[in-house]
């Protein structure tokens, strides 16, 4: 078993969208036909806002589409107003994202907190996509590898290697997220190689082999193939383009075509 699921993963981070419940349900229904058609070749998971988890789960009822939350708290319960724990999420979905760069930049999440969130997700029985990636100033200063290794090391230190089959790492250069400025595939592939190396150091080769490494940052229907055909890339984390059902469906098909090669 190379990782939890041998299929490439296409994960849809809806961020704080859509505003209206009916639109969330419609979006989920819109991507379901393609997800079902290519389910043998591609794993698809949707990450709506917390409040749309239940309606989207209803819309996906019976469909082979994963569902996850965009964040969680590391404590099980307690005086943490506004927070939702990984333990609570386990009744509603199977996945959670930890350490998205918007959480790090806008809400001050630290490497240590990201590790605690990822550990709590595994403890609660969820699968986790932990995000790493350098800011533009860090890239310009030639610090990409150092930053990615630091973020990765912090999260992996909190995770048991025995649970590596439930871990996915998304390499998302911050300067590429939501900017339309996607990383050159070769550049992304080199940094995903750094991630792979860090995984092997932390978990050992066998457990590291069960972890999928994704690319994220302005991935769309026009460029998704150029990432998933990289040896080091086992799928993509998609923001903006995942809010358009037709485009995301085209991306599912494109990933399936690469997987079938
Ligand atoms: C993201 O939110 O993780 C992301 C990669 O966004 P976008 O695809 O819009 O760059």
Residue 79 CA, ligand 1 centroid: distance in Å: 31
Q: Cβ(178) to ligand 1 under 6 A? A: yes
Q: What is the pLDDT of residues 74-108, one digit of tens each?
A: 999 999 999 999 999 999 999 999 999 999 999 99
User: What whole-number distance in Å separates Cα of residue 253 and Cα of residue 240?
Assistant: 18
Question: Residue 236 C-alpha to ligand 1 middle, in angstroms?
Answer: 9
Average the pLDDT over 244-254 and give the result. Answer: 98
Unique residue bearing structure tokens 């350098």: 134
What is the pTM (predicted TM-score) of this model? 0.97
CB of 172 sitting under 6 A from ligand 1 = yes
Residue with tokens 């790493």: 132
CA 251 – CA 235 distance, rounded (Å): 11
Cα→Cα distances 246→61, 114, 169, Å: 20, 33, 26
Cβ neighbours of residue 20 closer than 8 Å, sequence gap 6 or more? none
Q: How far apart are CA 181 and CA 222, in angstroms?
A: 13
Q: Is the CB of 193 under 6 A from ligand 1?
A: no
Q: Where are the beta strands (DSSP E) in 27-78?
A: 43-47, 66-69
Task: For residues 51-58, give the mean pLDDT.
Answer: 97
Residues 214 and 43: their CA atoms lie apart, in Å, by 12
User: Which tokens sit at 15?
Assistant: 């961020």
pLDDT of residue 100: 98
Establish whether residue 214 lines the binding site of ligand 1, counting it when its CB lies within 6 angstroms of any ligand atom: no
| Number of helical H runs and strand E runs in the chain | 11, 8
**What are the C-alpha distances in Å from 150 to residues 96, 133, 186, 195?**
21, 10, 22, 10
User: Over 70: is that where the pLDDT of 1 sits?
Assistant: no
Average pLDDT, the chain: 96
Q: Say what percent of the chain tops pLDDT 90.
A: 95
The position carrying tokens 């439930």 is 166
**How far apart, in whole angstroms, are the C-alpha atoms of residue 39 and residue 99?**
27
- Is 2's pLDDT higher than 60? no
Pairing status of strand 212-216 against strand 167-171: parallel
User: Residues 145, 104: contact at Cβ < 8 Å?
Assistant: no
Residue 94: per-residue pLDDT: 97
Catalytic machinery residues: 100, 172
What is the distance in A from the centroid of ligand 1 to the CA of 78? 31
Q: pLDDT category, 62, cuts 50, 70, 90?
A: confident
Q: What is the pLDDT of residue 61?
A: 80
pLDDT at 252: 98
Query: Is a pLDDT exceeding 70 seen at residue 117?
Result: yes
Give the pLDDT of residue 240.
Answer: 98
Say whether pLDDT at 3 is over 60.
no
pLDDT of 256 strictly over 70: yes
Q: What are the pLDDT digits (tens) for 29-40?
A: 999 999 999 999
CA-closest residue to ligand 1 atom 3: 239
| Predicted pLDDT of residue 4 | 55
């Amino acid at each position: 078993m190379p990782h939890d699921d041998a299929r490439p993963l296409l994960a849809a981070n809806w961020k704080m969208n859509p505003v209206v419940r009916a639109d969330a349900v419609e979006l989920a229904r819109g991507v379901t036909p393609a997800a079902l058609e290519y389910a043998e070749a591609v794993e698809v998971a949707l990450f709506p806002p917390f409040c749309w988890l239940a309606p989207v789960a209803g819309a996906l009822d019976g469909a082979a589409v994963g569902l996850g939350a965009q964040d969680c708290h590391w404590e099980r319960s307690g005086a943490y107003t506004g927070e939702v724990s990984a333990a609570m999420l386990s009744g509603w979905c199977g996945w959670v994202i930890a350490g998205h760069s918007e959480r790090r930049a806008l809400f001050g999440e630290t490497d240590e907190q990201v590790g605690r969130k990822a550990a709590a997700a595994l403890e609660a029985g969820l699968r986790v996509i932990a995000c790493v990636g350098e800011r533009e100033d860090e890239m310009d200063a030639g610090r990409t590898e150092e930053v990615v290794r630091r973020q990765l090391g912090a999260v992996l230190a909190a995770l048991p290697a025995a649970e590596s089959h439930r871990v996915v790492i998304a390499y998302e250069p911050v300067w590429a997220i939501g900017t339309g400025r996607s990383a050159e595939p070769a550049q992304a592939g080199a940094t995903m190689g750094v991630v792979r190396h860090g995984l092997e150091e932390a978990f050992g080769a066998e457990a590291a082999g069960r972890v999928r490494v994704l690319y994220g940052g302005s991935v769309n229907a026009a460029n998704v193939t150029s990432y998933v055909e990289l040896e080091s890339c086992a799928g993509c984390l998609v923001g903006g383009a995942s809010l358009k059902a037709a485009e995301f469906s085209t991306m599912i098909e494109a990933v399936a075509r690469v997987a079938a090669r």
